[in-house]
Structure 1
Amino acid sequence: MVDRAPYASDPALSRGRLFDTGASPTRSEFQRDRDRIIHSTAFRRLQYKTQVFLHHEGQHYRTRLTHTLEVSQMARSIARALRLDEDLAEAVALAHDLGHTPFGHAGERVLHEKMAEWGGFDHNMQAIRVVTRLENRYAEHDGLNLSWEALEGILKHNGPLLDADDRPVGRYLKEGLPAGIDEIPASEDLQLATFASLEAQCAAIADDIAYNAHDIDDALRAGLLSIRELADVPLVGPIVQRVLARWPDIEPNRQAHEVQRGLITMMIEDVIAESTLAIRAANPQSADDVRHAGATLIRFSPPVAAAEEALKRFMFERVYRSEAVMEPVRRSQIVVSELFDHYLAHADMPGRWGESARAAPWVGTKARLVADFIAGMTDPYALEQHARLFDAPAQLG
């Protein structure tokens, strides 16, 4: 019998799928969600999509796929410790980056600018488009036909999109909700003003833990940072100091690994301890109580949250905005920009993409098809198509 907390999501009480699939004799509804995501085309493409360092720069850096797998493992660990449904936490984690473009956030910024006239481009909303519309594997429907809880988690794992007065919040406060938010095919209303399940919150914080740790590891591999430069950096500094004191003479790659595993362990243990206290204080008696709790319950303790923000600022200044990262990023933005302009003008995308674009009744519809097509590209495929169309390979490095 599953030892599930009363406030955990229960697959037996799922709000269902848009298309009924009948009961499975061997898998819960959330296990089926996880399996559908893993077997999707969009999931496989993550192997060749940039995380921070562009795909061509080396095979030892994280890609969107390896990042996603690390997030999934951490989300399961946190969910297990808190007696939540591990399968739903894993499903949301596995799907959370399906909407990312080639070349990481660089590609997303270009598509958002190009699509400004037609509602912009948002990678989180794009993940919803992927799992509800763009995957076309099943005979009876488009999309993956995920459960309501999985869709809710993908859409709201970072928090509500609206406040109690139905006004956009957070990243959507300035520009409004992303295009298509009111057209998501789901079995019930996704309740944009409520929080997501604790399982989805586990996936969200696992995402933060994963990129904090592995971006440091990749930056050390790339030579953008040294271990000793991290000794005074918030959050990671004390761990670095302990590693250097205990193993001062071992190889740098071993020191880096000890730092990474120590950082991950510390953050996960802090989340479990703080979240246990937050859940106890909120005293939810059901998954719906969690949605109406008024706050995120899976979280860092205040000291760790403050140190984590400081670490992010350090990484932004020293790694994400370093010339070694930004030079290929700028070139990749040119690739995405020129691809978009060409396809919007000529609609000569292959197969169903070109057919749909040429038949589009409105330029906004055509533009969205172009954005969907480009967003689904891997880094190598985008470079290949750019070289074919412009007779000049794009040199990113």
Structure 2
Amino acid sequence: MQTHFSDADRQKPHIQEAEQVLRACVHCGFCNATCPTYQLLGDERDGPRGRIYLMKELLESPDDDTNVTAETRLHLDRCLTCLNCETTCPSGVEYHKLLNIGRAEIERRAPRPAAERLTRYGLRKMLVNPARFQTLLKLGQTFKPLVPAPLRSKMPPAPVNAGIRPAANRHPRRVLMLEGCVQPGLSPNTNAATARVLDRLGISVTPVPEAGCCGAIDFHLNAQQQALERIRANIDAWWPYVEQGAEAIVQTASGCGAFVKDYGEMLKDDPAYAARAQTISEMTRDIVEMLREAPLETLNLKESKRLAFQCPCTLQHAQRLGGAVENVLTTLGFSLTAVQDAHLCCGSAGTYSITQPELATQLRDNKLNALEAGNPEMIVTANIGCQTHLAGANRTPVRHWIEVVDDTLV
């Protein structure tokens, strides 16, 4: 794609990065064929190719040109950031990098209306602190009829009890685990089940309570500087344990895993953190990466279930681990049903199901129809956002796949 940046603009780091992405695009449109929002809306501007043109126009226009911002914001806000387009693209266009630049540029040039800013600020403050989130969740469950509908469907009536975790230093092999911000409240058993399964494989989980939210919520709500502060704080919290020999940082939410694996890229220009951030990214493992390398034959299951696996976008498109969970579950003896259009997003996408409820509901219902076509006993997934979004329809039960493995161990 041809660009028209001035020599002065080309001296700016974000324009240099944007131009590199833009020039890789050859206008082929393969991305639109797999874009969930383009399939729903049929508008070129709601597909990756159209959004790329809108961002190009925005970045090439002068700061005082306000004509492009409102339309561009609308269509960028509708983007799920599912990265299906990157998996499809034959030219290797790194769309997500351009999207981050475009969204930040709009926020800089044209701040949102006060109501939108308040909503986004409230989401950030409500979700990123586990203790605050759990307090608000309990209040919401107590007064559920008063909770706004988009939030009400996210609240589980009674999360599965977490149970007992094994001692942290039982085995020579030790890993760290990001507890997450909303998962301890919405699905407290997920991380406990992970620790029990890893313990059976001779791996101990060391808790690091100082590590907080991964930063993805702040970043994707365009509070990018606050996200970088969280990233640095997490690196500081993990680093002593890394120096003491922890072999990996395990993620049970694929959204967090995808974001932490990008720490090195996001802090590459920070001389104080670049090297450590890259090390953290290289050490980060989704739980399925730990299990697929483990001696699964040592795990004995007392039963198997008929499952449908919903592969989150952050697992298959961002981390490129599509098929990994399915292979582990099949090896363990579970029966998996076929899922049509498994590459499409369920509509959760972080806070998207709250900020874009109409589109998110359509995507969720389409995904559930595909998942339920094989009559599974249960739907399993690998990300807390997808789990709560799908479960909010009150149809087939939805859990994290590692919990089902833990439940069936002899």
**Superposed pair shares fold, TM > 0.5:** no
Greater strand fraction, Structure 1 or Structure 2: 2
TM-score (norm 1): 0.24
TM-score (norm 2): 0.24
